[in-house]
Structures are given as C-alpha cells and as structure tokens.
C-alpha cells in the first residue's frame, strides 16, 4: 500500500471516530441523557451548541499547531480529544461534567478535518487528491454506521460513549503509525483564515449545510421518539444515515465532472427534503427511514465536495481555504442547537425542522441561479 492510500485509510478511520461518532453521539443519546440527568431543554440545547463551539475552537487552533509541529500533530490531538471527551461523558455525574466532555469530544473533528487537506496535498499527486479527500471525509459515514449499530446492542448511553472512547484511542494509534511526519513548510505564514473572492459561494454553502446538518443530527433521534417510534428508532436512523453517506465516496468524481457548485446544490436539495420529511412524518417509520437515507447522502456528499471545491479554488493553500469555510460554517452550527432549544418550547420541534428545511431549499435555488454559466471544459464551477 502506498503512503498516500495508507494516509487515506488512517484518515478515514480517524474521521470516523472524531466526526461520525464523537461529534454527533450527543444527538443520538439526547433523550436518554435528558431522562438520566434531568436536563432541561434549554440546557440540552446549550450543551449541543458546546459540542460545535469545541469544533470551532479547534479549527482556529489547528493551523497554529500545524505551523509549529507539522500537519500530523493536530490529527493526533484530535484523536486524543475524542478519547478523553467521550470518556468524560461516559462517567459524567452531572450536566456540568457532561457539558465539558461533550465540548472536548466535539472539538476532535476540528483538529482533524482541515488538517487532512494539507496532508493529502503533501503525500498525493494531484490526480489522486479528489478521491482521497472524498474517501477520508466519507469515513465519517462509516463512523455513523458503527455508532448506530453500537447503540442497538448496548442498553446504556454511558457504555455507548465508553465504546467511542476506546475506538478513538485505537484510531489515534493507527493514524500516528500510518501518517508520516511532515515538517512545517519553511517560511510558512500563519493563515487561520484565507480571504479569497472565489470562496463566497462555498462559504454560503457551508453555513447552510452546517445549520441543516446540525439540526438533523441533534434532533433526529428526539423527533423519532416524540413521534412514537421507540428508543431503537434513533439508532436505526444513525445506521441509515451512515450507510447512505457512503455515497460520498463518489463525490470526487461528481465534483470533477459537474463542478463543486452543482454538487452543492444537489446536496442542499436532498437535505431540505430530508428535514421536511422528518418534520412532517416523524410518526411514520417509512418517512423517517427515507429521511435518514436522503440526509446521509446529502450530508456526506456535501461535506466531501467542500474540501474538493476549495482546493480547486485555492490550490496553493487548500488547508487555509478549507478552514475558512469551516470556521464560518461552524459559527452558524454553534448557534443552531441553542436557538432550537430556546424556540422548541414555543413552536414545537416540527415547526423548527420545517423552517430549517425551507432555509436549505431556498439556498439551493439561489446557489443554482447565481453566477455565470460554466464554459465547456471549465471544471472550477466557482
């Protein structure tokens, strides 16, 4: 196995535990946590926002660490954060410890995701990079399948979080072995954010994608259980989301043929339909299952297209360009659970989900109609 593909396998595994498991397990266990620790709705929303605040903070800190110790260092910190944070949640005796553990666990993906844009650019030839980046990002989908399957076989939310902590420890060790040490680039400037005229559309897409995905991941299990589908519904939803998310493996080919903007529009349309189905049909098992499948494809294809799109626009500094879109999107994601937690008691969860679905669908239409038509042979689709 070449170094590039070894990096792809290790990166996919680490993305699986940090992004697919540690970052989103809070939504999966939210109903059980609410009952076990008697946590009010608003506090649950704030804790959910805390997981995304941790992601945002690590995104901002990762470039500094990479500049000091090389791009592999943030991935090691990310895996360690997942193990420690999930361990804290597993033993949390109070909402305060739960919030701290969720924040640390949520930060893990921020250390890892953008760092791999730089690593892949260093170890892979240009023709390999889109598929390698898509494969690494799609590791998150495999993580969702695993965490959903684990939730089906364990009867305790604490054991679920403990299992994620163990998986994170193993993935971190594999990543440390498989990814070569890459020295910081000589004379590299610290650019946490990369202002660039061509990033306007990817940033707007990232904001809406993150808001929609955050709403879905945080409240899908809750919506299914409120609809009377039973405690196994949430785990089943996560398994389906992950399985359908394996469609992200084709995002590299799709982006190369149709352009990043076209893939983004498709992802948002699927996401809007998935949210609407969840809001309107949470009491119907077929509707929930279809919603989960659509969301899985939308989320992973959209997430995989984002680093490919930004790398095409800013090929000289793909990590910084990608981080820019992630930071702006993550600010919106951080606010989303807290806002939903505050609004749900008044409007109901269904109204919130339908409102977010409308926002996502409208953005897809605007993004589709914006910009000039692509010229023959032009694959940038900026």
Specify whether the CB–CB gap between 277 and 290 falls below 8 A.
yes
3-369: in CATH 1.20.1250.20:
yes
3 state SS of 93? coil
The alpha-carbon radius of gyration of the chain (Å, integer) is: 19
The span from the CA of 272 to the CA of 276, in Å, is 6
For 249-260, write each residue's pLDDT tens digit: 666 566 666 666
Q: What residue ranges do the domains of the chain occupy?
A: 3-369
pTM: 0.77
The span from the CA of 185 to the CA of 201, in Å, is 29
For 32-45, write each residue's pLDDT tens digit: 898 899 888 888 88
- Taking each continuous run of H as one helix and of E as one strand, the counts in the chain are 14, 0
Specify whether the CB–CB gap between 112 and 75 falls below 8 A.
yes
Low-confidence residues of the chain, pLDDT below 50?
187-188, 190, 372-382
For 89-138, write each residue's pLDDT tens digit: 999 999 999 999 999 999 998 899 778 888 988 888 887 887 788 788 77
């Amino acid at each position: 196995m070449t170094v590039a593909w070894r990096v792809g396998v290790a990166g996919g595994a680490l993305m699986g535990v940090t992004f697919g498991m540690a970052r989103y397990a809070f939504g999966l266990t939210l109903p059980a946590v609410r009952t076990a620790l008697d946590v009010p709705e608003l506090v649950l929303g704030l804790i959910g926002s805390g997981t995304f605040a941790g992601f945002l903070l690590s995104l901002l800190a990762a470039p500094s660490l990479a500049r000091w110790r090389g791009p592999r260092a943030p991935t090691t910190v990310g895996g360690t954060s997942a193990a420690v944070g999930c361990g804290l949640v597993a033993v949390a005796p109070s909402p305060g410890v739960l919030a701290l553990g969720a924040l640390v666990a949520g930060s893990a993906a921020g250390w890892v995701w953008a760092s791999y844009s730089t690593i892949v650019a260093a170890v892979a030839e240009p023709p390999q990079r889109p598929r390698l980046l898509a494969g690494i990002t799609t590791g998150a989908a495999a993580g969702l399948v695993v965490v959903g399957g684990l939730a089906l076989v364990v009867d305790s939310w604490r054991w679920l979080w403990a299992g994620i902590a163990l998986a994170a420890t193993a993935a971190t060790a594999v990543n440390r072995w498989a990814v070569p040490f890459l020295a910081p680039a000589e004379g590299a400037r610290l650019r946490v954010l990369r202002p660039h005229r061509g990033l306007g559309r990817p940033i707007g897409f990232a904001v809406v994608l993150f808001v929609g995905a955050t709403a879905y991941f945080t409240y899908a299990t809750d919506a299914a259980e409120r609809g009377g589908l039973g405690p196994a519904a949430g785990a089943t939803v996560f398994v389906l989301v992950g399985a359908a998310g394996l469609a992200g493996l084709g995002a590299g080919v799709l982006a190369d043929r149709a352009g990043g903007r076209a893939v983004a529009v498709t992802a948002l349309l699927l996401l809007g339909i998935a949210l609407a189905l969840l809001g309107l049909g949470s009491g119907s098992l077929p509707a929930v299952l279809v919603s989960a499948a659509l969301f899985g494809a939308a989320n992973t294809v959209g997430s995989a297209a984002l680093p490919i799109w930004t790398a095409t626009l800013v090929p000289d500094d793909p990590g910084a360009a990608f981080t820019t879109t992630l930071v702006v999107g993550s600010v919106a994601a951080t606010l989303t659970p807290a806002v939903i937690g505050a609004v749900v008691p008044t409007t109901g969860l269904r109204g919130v989900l339908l409102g977010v679905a409308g926002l996502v669908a409208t953005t897809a239409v605007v993004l589709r109609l914006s910009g000039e038509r692509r010229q023959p042979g032009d694959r940038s689709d900026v």
